[in-house]
Amino acid sequence: MTETAQEQAAPATSRRIEPFVASVWPWVHDLEERNPEAVFFGGGVPPTDVIPVDRLRHGSERAWEDGADILLYGEVRGYRPLRELIAARMLTRGANVDPADILITNGAQQGIDLAARVFVDPGDIVLTEAPTFMDALRVFKSHEAETVGVPVDEFGLQVDVLETILDQLPKRPKFLYTVPTYQNPMGVTMSAARRRALVDLSQERGFVIVEDDPYGDLSFDGAPVPTLKSLDPDVVYLGTFSKILAPGLRVGWVASSPRLRESFFNVKEGTDIHNERIMTRAVFHASQGFLDDHIAATREIYRRRRDAMLAGLAREMPVGVHWTTPNGGFFLWVTLPEGYDTDAMLSDATDRGIIYLPSSWFYPDRSWNRSMRLNFSSQPEERITEAMRRLAETIAAV
Ligand SMILES: Cc1ncc(COP(=O)(O)O)c(C=O)c1O
């Protein structure tokens, strides 16, 4: 095929941007435009009426009181009181972290990118769950890592299968990226026995664990689960205020270790110098004396929405459809019988008034297309109930 004049004139972009260009989002946004009435289950955010706007405004006003000094460069690691608040919160999940090992980032997403920059050379192996958070896959691929998926079941990453995979790999992986608690996309939580086995295996075989934990505080049934970081101080832990306050704040953190912290600080400084100083103060002032109560209130809202979705699925789904039962977080995972293709079905589902995320995008090799991720946090119960009826209608029609 001959190149058009326009293609010839296009600047040569890098190989590394390709994973960012290939994305589910443009497709999903087109579908949203095609049917603006469709109920959108694709997101992973707190609903706007749950975001504590007044409290954040109060935090922001307090932040400005600190004067012009904070408008200069400074604090690569981030505002110290915020790092102390984070360390205290992490202790409630069993991890004893020195605030000096904490680096404030632009969300957990930047933590994922920094981890890749710290550990990955082109051609290195990065292990992920299969399925996993799709935007982490894009980052690892953009760093030219070879991503290898480890299957997940209702008790989280299958550590015995990981062991077999490790035996077959041509070289030692640099790290394993996991979302062990209320996983994105399946909503499942790694069992205590598997957590122990995973940490032991990482020490035995010499790979780092990167624990991404955006949903860990949002438990519905009983006390929050202890983190992997609580079992091993060498775990690199990624946290965020995106799901417990608001994603647009872009405030998250990396909790590393005395051996790794300088690498993370240097890479952060070389990337964007440091986070916005006003916003990190605003998040601190908003959170202090407020965040625990806020999280407790939001858990109740999300728990009711999860219950509505589970009840709707139980009532509407035909035989042969299965789903996970999350104990927290934002998502559940629905799997259809053999012969279905959730990529192919999405267009029809949109016309019938429901948009989900098809499973193939969550796999390093895009190999599984019979499941879908449904977000329950962002819709009121009545909409969820009605949407489950429409989903059943779509499945029956296909
Ligand atoms: C597992 C996981 N990691 C990271 C992120 C990104 O979060 P942040 O807004 O903190 O960058 C998300 C958001 O959906 C997520 O689900």
1: pLDDT strictly greater than 80? no
Q: What is the pTM of this model?
A: 0.96
Ligand 1 centroid from CA 330, angstroms: 12
- CATH number for the region 5-51+293-397 comes to 3.90.1150.10
**Closest Cα to residue 326, out of 130, 184, 223?**
184
Q: Which residue has better confidence, 232 or 22?
A: 232
Ligand 1 centroid from CA 299, angstroms: 18
User: pLDDT category, 87, cuts 50, 70, 90?
Assistant: very high
Return d(Cα 253, Cα 83) in angstroms, integer: 9
What is the third-level CATH fold of 53-291? Aspartate Aminotransferase; domain 2 (3.40.640)
Q: Which helix (H) or strand (E) holds 224?
A: none
Q: Which atom of ligand 1 sits closest to the CA of residue 109?
A: 11
**Closest Cα to residue 24, out of 346, 341, 308, 256?**
346
What pLDDT, on a 0 to 100 scale, did the predictor assign at position 3?
A: 57
Q: How far is CA 221 from CA 57, 92, 114, in A?
A: 31, 16, 33
State whether the beta carbon of 181 lies less than 6 angstroms from ligand 1.
no
What pLDDT, on a 0 to 100 scale, did the predictor assign at position 225?
A: 92
Q: What is the pLDDT of residues 283-319, one digit of tens each?
A: 999 999 999 999 999 999 999 999 999 999 999 999 9
State whether the beta carbon of 256 lies less than 6 angstroms from ligand 1.
no
Residues of the chain with CATH 3.90.1150.10: 5-51+293-397
Residues of the chain with CATH 3.40.640.10: 53-291
Peptide bond into 131 cis (omega under 30): yes
CA dihedral 307, 308, 309, 312 (to 10 degrees): 120
Q: What is the pLDDT of residues 103-147, one digit of tens each?
A: 999 999 999 999 999 999 999 999 999 999 999 999 999 999 999
What pLDDT, on a 0 to 100 scale, did the predictor assign at position 144?
A: 96
Q: What is the pLDDT of residues 345-356, one digit of tens each?
A: 999 999 999 999
| Spatial contact of 83 and 77, defined as CB atoms under 8 Å apart | yes
User: pLDDT category, 5, cuts 50, 70, 90?
Assistant: low
Ligand 1 centroid from CA 346, angstroms: 24
Across the chain, what does the average pLDDT equal?
A: 95
State whether the beta carbon of 133 lies less than 6 angstroms from ligand 1.
yes
What pLDDT, on a 0 to 100 scale, did the predictor assign at position 4?
A: 64
Peptide bond into 151 cis (omega under 30): no
Residues 6+ apart with CB under 8 A from 150: 127, 128, 129, 130, 157, 158, 161, 162, 165, 176
Three-state DSSP class for residue 83? helix
